[in-house]
Structure 1
């Protein structure tokens, strides 16, 4: 599966315990997303487009309206790297 660098960064953050908080508009679509790392920092690379791609590929999931987390498919798809915060 082809995963871009921005998608890869978001998946790494989620695999390390991060989450994606989101807000929905009146029509039910996502209007704003924030990717929060496990230590409380924000990832700037996380945009609506990146989240939409990850959702389409089923690499992230939200259960019971909770923040988005990495799915089992996402864990298998993420490439292992020592430090992906560059």
Structure 2
């Protein structure tokens, strides 16, 4: 599966215990996302577009309206270290 560098960074932060908080519009669509690392810092690489790609690929999931976290498929897809090319 092809995963971009920014998607890989977000998945890596989530794999270490981060979470994605979201806001929904009246029609139920997600309109804003904020990715927090396990230390409580905000990851600026996580945009709405990146979030939607991760959701479409089923790499992140939310259970019972909780914040989005990495899924089992996401854990298998994330590389242990980013390439520095």
Whether the TM-score (by the shorter chain) exceeds 0.5 is: yes
Please tell me the root mean square deviation across aligned C-alpha atoms, in Å: 0.9
How many equivalent pairs are there? 82
Residue 54 of structure 1, CA deviation: 0.3
Q: How does 1:1-86 map to 2 (within 5 A)?
A: 1-81=1-81
Instruction: Give SS of 2:66's match.
Output: coil
For residues 7-62 of structure 1, the C-alpha deviation after alignment (integer angstroms, 9 at most, x for no partner) is 00000000000000000000100111000000000000101100000000000000
5+ residue gaps, structure 1 = none
**In 1, distance between residues paired with 2:54 and 2:65?**
17
Give the TM-score of the pair, scaled to structure 2.
0.94
Q: Which runs of 5+ in 2 are unaligned?
A: none
SS in 2 for 1:35: strand
